[in-house]
Structure 1
Amino acid sequence: MTFKSLTYYISVTVIILTLNSCGVVTKKYETPDDEFAAQYRDTLVQDTTSMATLSWKEIIRDSTLQDLIEEGLQNNLNLKSAIENINQAQASLVEAKLAFLPSLEGNAQITRSKTSQASLNLGGITGVNLNTTSHVGQLTSSWELDVWGKLRSNKRSVVASFLKSQAATRAVQTQLISDIAIGYYNLLALDAELKITKETLANRIGDQETMVYLKQSAVVDGAAVVQSEASRYEIETSIPDIETSILEQENALSILLGRAPGAIERTSLENQTAYSDLKIGIPSTLLRNRPDIQEAEMTFRGAFEDVNMAKTYFYPSLTLTANGGLSSLSLTDFFDNSVFYNLIGGLTQPIFANGENKARLKINKSVQQQAFYDYKLAWLTAGSEISDALFLYKKAKEKQASRTLQISALEKSVDFTEALLEYSSSTNYTDVLTTKNSLLSAQINGVSDKLQELQAVIQLYRALGGGWQ
């Protein structure tokens, strides 16, 4: 190759690399505009700090529940599966990095051949050796120059996939913590409901005995006795349903903990105190704590790089290939004057692949747009979930204040109506039963109010992206 030719090829290569560095083929990634990340609706006073940055152990104070969550983080099968996705993505990342290095192959062979005498013009010459043996040992190396950014785009796409798998694992972890806590609180609420119902049943049995006595004293008639029996059996039949719900909740929690279905150790609802320092932070920055938003962005970023890579298929690939080694017809001369080598540089461009390249680019652009919509939806969903949890907490606190007064008033009403039933003919057992049923309903609703408060705090913590820091 002459100096002039060498200068020409070097100049062409420099121009190609310069064009690529200027982004003629591929583009630099920019985070999508998050102007759609609106302010929270109906919030408390916003602060620059957020409860999402706190450890889950600071939000959840029940030591028994903490132990269960630790067990779930160690044994939950969904979380283990998500971690395996990280391992797979990490291996893919190593593979993508190796694509920048030249390939190297070794080859050793012995070839024994015989030339037909008829194929040679020997002119009657005899004694010619028609058998030949060749010995070859060589190394071949090939390297694709990333002049259009295809390999770099592929690597960035794989990096995005790796980061996406990490975010997905964090999302599984935050959801797992939330599910275990909410399931645990559900179990405590069912325990409290069962306790209230059993106490009510004991009260109804006492009512039944009282009605029999009052009938004997001619204070009430037979209808009151039958009504008291029916009321007792109504409460009695509700207990198996509650016990079934308890069993189902225990089994559901067992699955989350990665253990066989069985009893769940727990405390009681009255011992629970909900975390109350509900700082939610600034939407435009702290929603970034949510793993699902991180996952959605990495999906978009990967799709963006896939579009970049699809663009490079319209341009020729530049490959350098070199091979060299030893070749000899005699094994004894294998290392004497037997060196050979080749150095080849080439541009490769499929001639009839333009339609395929256009289709690939169109598909990847569509996937990218779809990923953008999913990213936007993740932001909107986050804002909605935060608003829902805040409002749920606020209303639960309001209801608890009123519910306490309601239960107190109904307890007094039950005492009054029972006294009137015994000493006044103007009151019948239906009045007493109505008041007692109202009290039972209020007590059950009081349990629901407490559960709603506890769940709202956990839901808000998860909605803000807490649980993985």
Structure 2
Amino acid sequence: MNHKLYLKTLSIALIGLLSGCAIGPDYQKPNTIQTADFKEGEGWKLATPKIGIMPEKWWSLYEDNELNQLQERLLGANQNLAQYEAKYRQALALVKGARAAYFPTITADVNAKKSQQGKGNSVTKTYDIGPSASWEIDVWGKIRRQVESANADAQASFADLAAAKLSLQSELAQTYFQLRIMDIQQKLLDDTVLAYQKSLSLTENQYNAGLVVKSDMTQAKTQLKSTQAQAIDIKYQRAQLEHAIAILIGEAPANFSIKPTYIVPELPGIPSILPSQLLERRPDIAGAEQQVISANAQIGVAKAAWFPDLTLSAGAGYSSNSFSHWVESPNRYWSLGPQFAMTLFDGGLISSRYTQAEAVYDEKVANYRQTVLNGFKEVEDYLIQLSTLQQEAVVQQEAVDSAKESLRLITNQYEAGLIDYLNVASTQTSALTTERTQITLLGNQLTTSVKLIAAIGGGWTTAELDKD
């Protein structure tokens, strides 16, 4: 058989071998617990948001320009996010490396050596030059499974990046709203301090005129100083929140500040979803599934180790004992042929690796199912929390109205000389507490709405995986 016929026969055989299926199980999506609807979602269904679906930039629902600008800065400068982006690039490089195994490896060799066999024999000179190639034929689909696994790992890394992005965006929005609530609290306390200063001045004048006892004056002063201390503490809390925002957007706290404002966004309508849609919206769930896909492919890789590897090697070049006649036709050579290699005994190593691969798969399936359950729980938790806060806000508004009316009546009685200042101070404290509680409830509603949006995946969907 001449070498051309040999090459043709070998090529036909290789095509037949490569047409086979990849060894190991093909991926099937694991079953998960499903429900028709969310238990705590009744009020959610009745909500009528301005839009029917969640926008990719979900924070735009709050219609706050300052928040919009901060979110853009976060995407470009947050260093935790930069770490996840770098990890994703690493995963993509590993995919490229895995795919390289589909192709032959070609090298070029140049050798010049001297050798001697036996003492007294002449020294032999040998000169070799020429390329060589080796190609592992993917007979059993091992390389295909390795590529499948690497690609799934890259998709999981991309999902991790998306999850980190969503988490940081959520953290930024929550911190921003907490800061704005501190602004409202600060204004309330500053206004209250001014009112208490006027009350103290009036009480001092009344005391000097002999109209009230000294305890009324000291009580008014105590009330003022206590409220001033609260106002100072609010400044400290706001500064901490401002520092946290600076870090989130990649700034040093010393170089960053946000001007106070006394307007907070209204609570937006949040587009509702079904539990079945949650699997397509949360990046952590998508990432967990990609880990299952990768582990499933690794079972095929482990199983392929029981079968022989087929490597096709080829070489050509010139070999001569004379440098001057090195590269001449008579000194030309070539070689081509397959090589089968198979492990006959390894003390159970391959078997243990296969068992390990199956166990890793089971672990990833369990992790995927638990991630789905955790997702359901988070949505249910934030739905009931948001609903409860909305009910509390209605009742708290009634409490604020009642406290203001009570303060008006008590103040009138004090000015008429019917009661002492202790009653006024007690009522003032109660009124201030109810107003501060109302503001805190507003902040809790805003931050919980952000948590709910993050729990349903923000504006992300699994379609994002196909883009990369």
Normalised to the residue count of structure 1, the TM-score between the two structures is 0.88
SS at match of 2:178: helix
2:74 matched residue in structure 1? 72
Cα distance change, pair 230–9 in 1 and its aligned pair in 2 (3 A): same
- What is the one-letter code of the residue matched to 2:232? P
What percentage of residue pairs aligned between the two structures are identical?
Answer: 23
Assess, with a 3 A threshold, how the Cα gap between structure 1 residues 418 and 46 changes in structure 2: closer, same or farther. closer
- What pairs up with 1:176-191 in 2 under 5 angstroms? 176-191=168-183
1:359 — aligned with what? 352
Q: 1:8 to 1:74 in 2, by over 3 A?
A: closer
Give the drift of 1:102: 1.1
Match of 1:374 among 367, 372, 382: 367
Moved more, 197-206 or 138-147: 197-206
Measured at CA, do residues 422 and 53 of structure 1 come closer, stay the same or move farther in structure 2, by a change above 3 Å?
closer
Per-residue CA deviation, residues 424-446 of structure 1 (Å, 9 max, x unaligned), is 43x22222112111111111111
Amino acid at match of 1:86: Y
Equivalent position of 1:300 in the other structure: 292
Output the CA distance in 1 between the equivalents of 2:260 and 2:280: 35
Q: Retained in 1: the 8 A contact 2:91–2:150? A: yes
Which moves more between the two structures, 352-361 or 146-155? 352-361
What is the CA–CA distance in structure 1 between the aligned matches of 2:273 and 2:46, rounded to whole Å? 6
Any idea what the Cα deviations from partners look like across 1:209-233, whole Å, max 9, x if unmatched? 2333333455432222222222222
Q: What amino acid maps onto 2:45 in structure 1? A: V
The answer to whether structure 1 residue 413 and structure 2 residue 406 are counterparts is yes
State the shift of 1:399 in Å.
Answer: 2.5
Q: Could you tell me how far apart the structure 2 residues matched to 1:315 and 1:16 are?
A: 13
Is the alpha carbon distance of 1:387 and 1:50 closer, same or farther for their aligned partners in structure 2, counting shifts above 3 Å? farther
Aligned equivalents of 1:253 and 1:459: distance in 2?
17
Structural mapping, 1:132-171, within 5 Å: 132-171=124-163
Whether the aligned pair in 1 keeps the contact of 2:34 and 2:276 (CA below 8 Å) is no
CA RMSD, Structure 1 to Structure 2 (Å): 2.8
Q: Which residue in 1 is equivalent to 2:45? A: 45
Q: Is the 2:26–2:296 contact (alpha carbons within 8 Å) kept by the matching residues of 1?
A: no
Q: In 2, are the aligned partners of 1:113 and 1:132 still within 8 Å (CA)?
A: yes
User: Is the counterpart of residue 197 in structure 1 residue 189 in structure 2?
Assistant: yes
How is 1:110-259 mapped onto 2 (pairs within 5 angstroms)?
Answer: 110-116=112-118, 118=120, 130-259=122-251
TM-aligned CA deviation for residue 404 of structure 1: 2.5
C-alpha distance in 2, partners of 1:142/1:37? 54
Residue 16 of structure 1, CA deviation: 6.3
Q: Is the 8 A contact 2:295 2:357 kept in 1?
A: yes
Return the letter of the residue paired with 1:45.
K
**CA–CA distance in 1 between the matches of 2:430 and 2:232?**
21
Please list the CA deviations of residues 248-294 of structure 1 after superposition, one character each: whole Å capped at 9, or x if unmatched. Answer: 11111100000111443256353422212x22222212441111111
Shift of 1:78: 1.2
Gaps of 5+ in 1: 120-129
Question: 3-state DSSP class of the match of 2:127?
Answer: strand
Higher-Rg member (1/2) = 1
**Aligned residue among 25, 28, 32 for 1:27:** 25
- Structure 1 stretch 192-201 or stretch 437-446: which is displaced more? 192-201
Letter in 2 for 1:295: G
Measured against aligned partners, the alpha-carbon deviations of 1:15-74 in whole angstroms (never above 9, x if no partner) come to: 8667x52x6x31111222233466322102289x96435432532311111111111111
What residue identity is the alignment partner of 1:42? Answer: E
Q: Kindly report which structure 2 residues correspond to 1:93-112, keeping only aligned pairs within 5 A, or say none.
A: 93-112=95-114
Is 1:318–1:346's contact at 8 Å kept on the other side of the alignment?
yes
Does 350-359 or 91-100 show the bigger shift?
350-359
Deviation digits for residues 285-324 of structure 1 (CA, Å, limit 9, x no counterpart):
2441111111111112111111221111122212122222
- Tell me what 1:127 maps to: none
182-191 or 234-243: bigger deviation: 234-243
CA drift of 1:116 comes to 4.6
Q: Residue 340 of structure 1 aligns to which amino acid in structure 2?
A: Y
